[in-house]
Structure formats: C-alpha cells, structure tokens
Amino acid sequence: MENTWDVIVVGGGSAGLSTALMLGRSRRRALVLDEGMPRNRFADHMHGVLGHEGKDPAQLLREGREEVAAYGVEFAEARVERVDRDGRDFVLTDTEGKRRGARAVVVATGLTDVLPEIPGLAERWGTSVLHCPYCHGWEFGDRRLGLLATAPHDIMRAELLRQWSEDLTVFTSGIGGVDPVTQARLESRGVRLVPEPVVGVDGPGQDLTEVRTEKGVYPIDALFAGGAFRPHDDFLESLGPERADGPMGNFLSVDEFGATSVPGLWAIGNVVNPALTVPGTMGAGSTTGGMVNMYLVGQDFDDAAPEPAKDFWESRYRSQDRIWSGNANATLVDLLDGIEPGRAVDLGCGEGGDVLWLAARGWKATGIDISETAVDRARGAARDAQLEDRAAFVAEDLEQWTPSEDLDLVTGSFFQSPVALDRVAVLRRASRAVVRGGRICLLSHAAPPPWAEHHHDADFPDLGEEVRALDLGPEWETEVQEVRKREAADPEGNPAVLEDAVVVLRKKA
C-alpha cells in the first residue's frame, strides 16, 4: 500500500481543488484522486463565478490544479471504488485495485444529473437544455423558455424562471399537473402550463427550437430540466456514514463544515448539496480544508502529548470486566498478617482486593484510585462482602490527594503507572499522616513477568533509590527491603515465578 497521506481528496472539481489548496498551503501531504468528469463538463462557459465570468469551466480547473500543485499537493487520475477504516485512518481502493492510506478523507465527487429519458434531451444538456437560471438565464433572457417539471420543487423554479423571460412554458406532466391555486398564480404572470407528456425536443445541432408533446409542438429556445440527482458516494458504503432525505433526494448528512458522522471523513460540494454552484463549492471546499487541517493538528498534538493518567486507567479498566483477581497480594498478606489493625490507606487500590483483606482483618481501610470504574467495582465487592463499614473507596487522582486523617498504615501494591506518576511526591504526602509506630508497605514488580516480551523501564522503580529519594528523615527506619519470589500463573494458566520488590518503612515509636 502507498504511504499514508495526511489527506486524500476524492474528486478534483471546484470543491475538491479548493480544499486541496487550503491543505497544500497548510503544508499537508495531500493527494487529489480524480476521475476527471466534473458536473459542468457539458458547458463551454461558466457564469456567476466572480473573477472568472464566462470562462471555460475546464480552464478554471486546469488553472486551479496548477495553483494547488504549486503548494506540493499531488494528483492522480483514479476512480475510487471503496473506502475502509484502518484504525483511526482510512484505506482507499481504486478501480485498478491500488490501495492508498490517509489520515483523513474529503469526498468532493459531485453528482450525476439523471435526466428524463426524452429523445434529444441529453445531447443538448449544458447548451440549450439547462439546469440553472443563475448559470444560464442571462444568456437566454427574453427568449422562449421552457421548464420540464419533474419534482414538486420545480413549481418554485417556474416562478424563478419568469424573472428572465415573459415567454415561459411549463410542462407539468412529470409532476402530475398542478392544483388550481398554483395554476392561477403562475398564469397571473403569463406563464403557460402544458399538462401533456413531452415526447421529444429538437433543433439544429445542439440548439433547441421546439419541444414536442403528444398533442402539439411548442417553440422553445432553452428548456430548463432537472431530473434526479445521483450523488457519487456509493464507494463510502462500508463506512456507513449517516444519510438524510431532503427535498432534493437522499444525501450524506454533514455539518456546516462538511464533517460526516464518520470521524475523519468530510463531504463537500454537489455530492452533498446539488444546489451549490461553483462559487458555493469553492467556499465549502476552502472552509473544509481549514477544518481538516485543524483536525490533523489536534491529532498531532494528541499523539505527542502524554495521555492523561485518568484516561489511561479508565480505558484500561473498561477494557475488561475485571482486571485483578480480587484477592490480596500474597506477599502483602505475609507482611501484615500479625500487625495490630488500625487506620489504613491503600494507594492505587484498583478493584480493592488488598483493602477488603485489611477490612476483613479489622482494619478501617480506605482505597484510593484514579479510575472511577475500578472504584465502583471495589465498592461493589465491599457490599458483597458486607465490609462497607470498614472498607471505603475514593476515586481521586493521588497526585492531588492529601490525607485527611492520621494513618497507621499506608500500602501501595504495584502502585506503578506507565503514564506519568510522581510516586515520590504521593508517598511523601502519605508519610506525613503516618503516626508513630505506623508503617508504609510498598510492593512493586521487580522485573517484568517471564511471559512479557516488552516492558518499559519506568514500570520498575528501584525501591532502594526511591527510599533514598523519599528522604523521610531519622524518625523512619527500614524494616524490610528485599526482592521476594512469588508463584503465579501466566495468561495461559502455566505456573510462573514473579519477583516482587518489597519495602516496609516504620515510623519509630
């Protein structure tokens, strides 16, 4: 597969090129994939486009490509057949089977005007059979105009067209005729209504001189005809973007910036709004180009910035129904079994196994953990064990925590984190609440488990160094500082030996 692009723009018409221009100027690695069949390819001149009035639309796109390419955007002639998700990114497959990756995709593929099947209509499309009075009305001002009504909103178009000529004939069979009120309204300004079906249009070359119905021939110089719109978006099916029905058909749902319901996927121009003329598609494309760049800027910072500890632990706990066994650590049990119960705090209590063991032995124990999910589970376990009066749990970031009562014991079993955690500061704060004769009992992984292939060094604090860094002062003594081996089971259930680093510090009585 080709390297992942920042953005692939599908469709190189006025919408796609305007997006690409913004992306290129934002120094994005962008590729435009285009099949080269813009909607207005049937017209020789383009109107209503400031600065380009009367220009050949193909010329506008040629100039646009040059401008965009000058900022490093690349182009390939291709028809995209399929887009799939690849994690956060996308994979686009073209009709030749070529696959390209992109962090974001902008769909600017336009639409097909599906014309009624009337002999002579299609070959005059863009010349004398027209879609939009704003694009072509001026050129046919005061001439004999016709409107082939095919959808209810064409009645509004009939009123609109009357602005360009007093000589207007509306062929209404495609909408089953009009009601008397509408008829009276249109006829009040001289609009002729013809109810019979149109059977053909004719004239020399691409010009038009007549529209034929089953009953007669009508002299017409330009026929406005719409038909249905078929947006070019079927290649997005596997992504399942939301769609909505509107007066002009069924289109992808997008917000005001072109964002679809699929994160990282935008859609702009005629593919989502058939009423947009070239300037409208340029505005949409330009705005969306900026938004897509902003989205990628956000992603770049998200990737670079450290993950907040709360997010890390929440997603860790939510990833499984239960992470830990629910039993107290065997080494901790061994160390604390004979000690007179009092008030205890367990730092990073997880799902509460150690706290429940302490509570069951008469301690008044509080577990603190940054993960709400873990704390909810621990509370549930305390309820089940009917230990709620002696086992409390608090969801709190220990880096912000200060003890609220005197403590006889502070435990921290595997109170280690792959995301930033200032253990020393937390332990120092905890130590200040420990009463004379009280203890700090720390268990940590001394080494990665034998089944782990990779492990980050930061996961294995050197407890000796940490005790020195804690610098608790002469009133503290070290009771235990050693590595203990413990029997456990690997993820497949095979026996394994784990190494725990153990430190017990005691505040002298």
Contacts to ligand FAD by CB under 6 A: 10-16, 33-40, 42-43, 46-49, 79-80, 108-110, 113, 125-126, 131, 135, 232, 235, 269-270, 276-278, 281
Enter the DSSP assignment of 125.
B
**Cβ-based nearer residue to ligand FAD, 256 or 337:** 256
Give the H/E segment covering residue 144. Answer: none
Enter the DSSP assignment of 324.
S
CB of 124 to ligand FAD, least distance (A): 10
**Cβ-based nearer residue to ligand FAD, 49 or 447:** 49
437 CB contacts (<8 Å, ≥6 apart)? 408, 506, 507, 508, 509
Question: Are 25 and 71 contacting, i.e. CB atoms less than 8 angstroms apart?
Answer: yes
304 CB contacts (<8 Å, ≥6 apart)? none
CB of 133 to ligand FAD, least distance (A): 11
**Cβ-based nearer residue to ligand FAD, 226 or 342:** 226
**Cβ-based nearer residue to ligand FAD, 65 or 79:** 79
Q: Coil, helix or strand for 97? A: coil
CB of 199 to ligand FAD, least distance (A): 23
Which residue spans within 335-475 are E strands per DSSP?
343-347, 364-369, 391-395, 407-413, 434-445
CB of 96 to ligand FAD, least distance (A): 12
Q: How far is CA 101 from CA 24, 105, 298, in A?
A: 18, 10, 19
**Cβ-based nearer residue to ligand FAD, 45 or 185:** 45
Tokens 């259930």 found at = 493
CB of 53 to ligand FAD, least distance (A): 9
Q: Coil, helix or strand for 22? A: helix
Question: Are 368 and 394 contacting, i.e. CB atoms less than 8 angstroms apart?
Answer: yes
CB of 125 to ligand FAD, least distance (A): 6
CB of 201 to ligand FAD, least distance (A): 15
465 CB contacts (<8 Å, ≥6 apart)? none
Tell me the β-bridge partners of 219: 210
Tell me the β-bridge partners of 100: 2, 92
Q: How far is CA 501 from CA 448, 472, 498, in A?
A: 12, 19, 10
**Cβ-based nearer residue to ligand FAD, 49 or 419:** 49
**Cβ-based nearer residue to ligand FAD, 35 or 479:** 35
**Cβ-based nearer residue to ligand FAD, 56 or 314:** 56
Main-chain dihedrals φ then ψ at residue 383, nearest 5 degrees: -60, -50
CB of 129 to ligand FAD, least distance (A): 9
In angstroms, the CA 416 to CA 405 distance is 24
**Cβ-based nearer residue to ligand FAD, 40 or 329:** 40
Alpha helices in 347-422 (DSSP H): 353-360, 372-384
Question: Are 292 and 5 contacting, i.e. CB atoms less than 8 angstroms apart?
Answer: no
**Cβ-based nearer residue to ligand FAD, 65 or 486:** 65
In angstroms, the CA 80 to CA 93 distance is 6
CB of 321 to ligand FAD, least distance (A): 43
CB of 75 to ligand FAD, least distance (A): 11
